[in-house]
Amino acid sequence: MNDLLVANSVSKNFGNFKALNQVSIAVPKGSIFGLLGPNGAGKTTLIRIINQITMPDEGAVLLDGQPLKPEHVRDIGYLPEERGLYKSMKVGEQCLYLAQLKGLTKTEAKARLKYWFDKLEIGDWWNKKIQELSKGQAQKIQFIVTVLHQPKLLIFDEPFSGFDPINANLIKDEILQLRDEGATVIFSTHRMESVEELCDHIALIHKSNKVLDGKLNDIKRQFKTNTFEVGLESLNREKVFAEIQDKFEVLPATFKNLNDDIKLNIKLGEHASPNDLLSFLTSKAEVHHFVEVIPSASDIFIQTVKNN
Amino acid sequence: MNHLPLIIKREYFTKVKNKSFIVMTFLSPLIMIALFAVVAYLSQLNNDKERTISILDETGYLEEVFQNTEFTTYTNLNGLSLNDAIALVKEKEDYGLLYIGKAGSLDDVSGNVKFYSEESPSLSVISGLEQQIEKRLKEKKLELDGVSLAQIEASQTNIEIAQESFDGEKSSKIDNVVKLAFGGAAGYLLFMFIVIYGNMIMRSVIEEKTSRIIEVIISSVKPIQLMMGKIIGTSLAGITQFVIWVILGGVLLVVVSAIFGIDLTQVQTPQQEMVNQAMQADGSQAMAENLIAAISNLPLTNLVIAFLFFFIGGYLLYSSLYAAIGAAVDNETDTQQFMLPILMPLILAVYVGVFTVIEDPHGTVSTVFSFIPFTSPVVMLMRIPFGVPLWQQGLSLLLLIGTFIFAVWFAAKIYRVGILMYGKKPTYKELFKWLKY
């Protein structure tokens, strides 16, 4: 049993609107799983189904091999995108209340809160009201409340919104540490650079359907077009350019370089190897730059959404 | 996992520790008592000021009609001319001058009575005087026809119809008044409770929506648990407030009356006095005895038990609807259009209670409305003091409980969907669709 969470052909309708259509995902234990998709694709609905906030019309969700039960709320920590806290309640009281709702006893909750408050150096906030905190400060509290009961599965929906870069990094490191300690993370965001940085698996939902999923590296391999970015220096630019264009599919490229090079994206046919290209190029000009073009998560996202 | 106690506890303590709640709880009875004390004090001031009314009777028919009382002194100015009398009254700063002009016969007197005063006299003073004059003239006329005063007195009969039901239960007019008072108080209390604390529940649901904490909470607890926790917690806070009001009000009442030496139960204004005098009340002693008898005549056990059940049932029914409204909208200004359908039956119930139950507690209208679940708590509570067969109470309660369960189901559906909906105000059609989500 390597998958902590499995969703089997989950569908959900709201009236005549199909919010999810036969979506299946499998989140491996100990992974950071990126749940991606444009606005309104159905991500939040899927997340709410996992949290048992809404019930699926069809399909089932298994946590650790068992169909979701009310007791499972203890095993899940959820940081929703639409989040907030009771404004006029004191920080400490509020954390204790939310922790107890997740099944912790008061003493347990107190001890763990002390640990987290010390770790994030916010011990003096205990008796403040939420409305006295800044947005970023409140987000920190929210993060602590989400992870406090040490759930097996953590679901973060846009966890970095509202944080400055320093605090965003702090939270990112905490997420990585939690993963290293054995937690599994579902991570939903529109910020592709953090997907690149954190996720090892992704699934892309578009218009209520899952259109893509797998290991991020596999998907990248799948999406690469055997294209190479090259920078050449030659005295006879036009001639070299014409000769390359004769043999290969060529597109202009832009990248930063010291010299005034010919900058090209060269697409190889399916059977050609990079070595063939390289030896051809070295025979014509001086090669300063030779890199395989690997699609970024952002490229994959845009391309997939456009094609569907 | 049952988080209900935890939620109730939070809701309760958040409400109770809220500053405006505390201020309201302790200030309201203070303000009420202060108002009461001011009124009592003012009327006492009024009492201290004795009123002198001068009488100038040129007919002689009205001798010894006007007897001095605690607050009103009558001075006889007989013998003076009208102008002199007026001047004298003005100079003495008397309340006014009652002038009965010369009349040839008893029949002519009525057109010749005038009251002169600096300011226009109070209505009760005038009507008190009128009644006294009328009574004397009537006696005089009867005397003229050969009926003696003793005969008149002997002819006066006080009729009080003793009422008894077929089961042998005795009652009287005063019984009915007491019953109305009890029923009315119970019904009105329920009405107030629903409006005040229903609104409080609604606001607290809206607060959770606007602060966006709702999704965090319901990833831990079932929405229906949250809703019930809110309703129960807020109700407990409401009961706390009510109990404090009653206790504080009682204590303050005693303290204030002790300090100011006002016997609040005996506050009697000159107006009342006039009226009493005219009415020739047959002694307040008997009245009080009747009152106590009437209260002990009430079906007290039934009343208390029914009050508890109908109060709780009615309150929960309405408050779950309030919670649903709170869930359906984003802010308080949007609640208006949904409030109306809730308030309508409630207000209808109070009107039916006040107008129909008084007239005929067991009539068709009263009976029907005491079965309709949305009006039954108020109307039935008003009817019960008059004795309602147990099967009717049971049936009504059953209907109420059934509707309550349906309302909670309905509210929970709306609540479950509504708390996660932001943005535009939903229409009734959309609310209906939510039921199927």
Across the range B325-341, mean pLDDT stands at 83
Say yes or no: B286 contacts chain A, CB-CB below 8 A: no
Structural domain that includes position B388: 169-243+298-434
Residue B327 pLDDT greater than 70, yes or no: yes
* CB–CB contact B211 A87 (8 Å): yes
B residues 177-236 lying closer than 8 A (beta carbon) to A: 207-208, 211-213, 215-222
Ordered strands of the A249-252 beta sheet:
A249-252, A262-267, A227-233, A286-292
Question: In angstroms, rounded to a whole number, what is the distance separating the alpha carbons of residues B313 and B403?
Answer: 9
State the CATH number of the domain containing residue B144: 3.40.190.10
pLDDT digits (tens, 9 = 90+) for A91-105: 999 999 999 998 899
pLDDT of residue B279: 47
Nearest beta carbon to residue B221 from set A83, A101, A145: A101
B146 with B204, same domain: the answer is no
pLDDT grade for A156, boundaries at 50, 70 and 90: very high
pLDDT of residue B125: 81
B132 with B178, same domain: the answer is no
B187 with B327, same domain: the answer is yes
pLDDT of residue B170: 63
Question: What would the two tokens of residue B313 be?
Answer: 């049932």
SS (H, E, C) B90-111: HHHCCCEEEEECCCCCHHHHHH
Closest A-chain CA to B13:
A89
**Of the candidates A300, A114, A146, A137, which has an alpha carbon nearest to the alpha carbon of residue A218?**
A300
* CB–CB contact B220 A101 (8 Å): yes
pLDDT digits (tens, 9 = 90+) for B373-403: 888 888 888 888 887 888 888 999 999 999 9
Residue B288 in any domain: the answer is no
Residue B268 in any domain: the answer is no
Q: Count the domains in chain B.
A: 2
Q: Do residues A192 and A296 touch, judged by C-beta distance below 8 A? A: yes
Chain B residues with CB inside 8 Å of A86's CB? 14, 207-208, 211, 213
Compute the nearest-CA separation of B429 from chain A (Å).
Answer: 12
For residue A197, what is the DSSP state? H
Q: Name the residue ranges covered by the structural domains of chain A.
A: 3-221, 225-292
CATH homologous superfamily for the domain A3-221: P-loop containing nucleotide triphosphate hydrolases (3.40.50.300)
Residue B326 pLDDT greater than 80, yes or no: yes
Highest-pLDDT range among A110-119, B117-126, B287-296: A110-119
Compute the nearest-CA separation of A179 from chain B (Å).
Answer: 21
B85 with B198, same domain: the answer is no
Chosen CATH of A225-292 out of 3.30.750, 3.30.70, 1.10.3210, 2.60.40: 3.30.70
pLDDT digits (tens, 9 = 90+) for B187-216: 888 888 888 889 889 988 888 888 888 888
What are the two backbone dihedrals, phi and then psi, of residue A14, each rounded to the nearest 5 degrees? -115, 100
Question: Which amino acid makes up residue B258?
Answer: A
* CB–CB contact B211 A84 (8 Å): yes
Whole-model pTM: value is 0.74
ipTM over 0.90: no
* CB–CB contact B215 A80 (8 Å): yes
Closest A-chain CA to B430:
A15
pLDDT of residue B9: 93
pLDDT of residue B47: 57
DSSP-based three-state secondary structure for B429: helix
Close Cβ partners of A91 (under 8 Å, ≥ 6 residues apart): A125, A126, A127, A128, A129, A130, A133, A141
pLDDT of residue B169: 63
pLDDT of residue A281: 87
At which of B128, B153, B178 does a domain end? Answer: B153
B83 with B189, same domain: the answer is no
Residue B267 in any domain: the answer is no
Residue B282 pLDDT greater than 60, yes or no: no
pLDDT grade for A205, boundaries at 50, 70 and 90: very high
Compute the nearest-CA separation of A259 from chain B (Å).
Answer: 54
B174 with B137, same domain: the answer is no
Residue B164 in any domain: the answer is no
B429 with B369, same domain: the answer is yes
Interface A-B: count of C-beta contacts within 8 A: 67
Question: What would the two tokens of residue A282 be?
Answer: 């070295």
Residue A308 pLDDT greater than 50, yes or no: yes
Question: What would the two tokens of residue B220 be?
Answer: 């831990």
Residue B265 pLDDT greater than 80, yes or no: no
* CB–CB contact B216 A48 (8 Å): no
Residue B39 pLDDT greater than 90, yes or no: no
Residue B356 pLDDT greater than 90, yes or no: no
B68 with B215, same domain: the answer is no
Q: What percent of chain B has pLDDT over 90?
A: 5
Residue B38 in any domain: the answer is no
Nearest beta carbon to residue B211 from set A14, A86, A97: A86
Say yes or no: A39 contacts chain B, CB-CB below 8 A: no
Question: What would the two tokens of residue A100 be?
Answer: 């107890």
Lowest-pLDDT choice from A208-212, B56-60, B244-248, B422-426 = B422-426
> What angle is formed at CA B233 by the lines to CA B229 and CA B238, rounded to 5 degrees?
150
pLDDT of residue B46: 62
pLDDT digits (tens, 9 = 90+) for B54-91: 888 888 777 777 877 777 888 888 878 888 888 888 88
Question: In angstroms, rounded to a whole number, what is the distance separating the alpha carbons of residues A194 and A202?
Answer: 12
B319 with B398, same domain: the answer is yes
Nearest beta carbon to residue A98 from set B208, B216, B433: B216
B189 with B309, same domain: the answer is yes
pLDDT grade for A203, boundaries at 50, 70 and 90: very high
Q: Do residues A46 and A91 touch, judged by C-beta distance below 8 A? A: no
Nearest-10 crossing angle of helices B223-260, B300-328: 120
Compute the nearest-CA separation of B417 from chain A (Å).
Answer: 9
Residue B279 in any domain: the answer is no
The per-residue b/e assignment along B380-391, b for 16 or more CB within 10 angstroms, e otherwise, is: bbbbbbbbbeee
Say yes or no: A70 contacts chain B, CB-CB below 8 A: yes
In the numeric block, the tokens 């700063």 are attached to B93
pLDDT grade for B424, boundaries at 50, 70 and 90: low
pLDDT digits (tens, 9 = 90+) for A5-45: 999 999 998 878 888 999 999 999 999 999 998 888 889 89
B128 with B227, same domain: the answer is no
B73 with B201, same domain: the answer is no
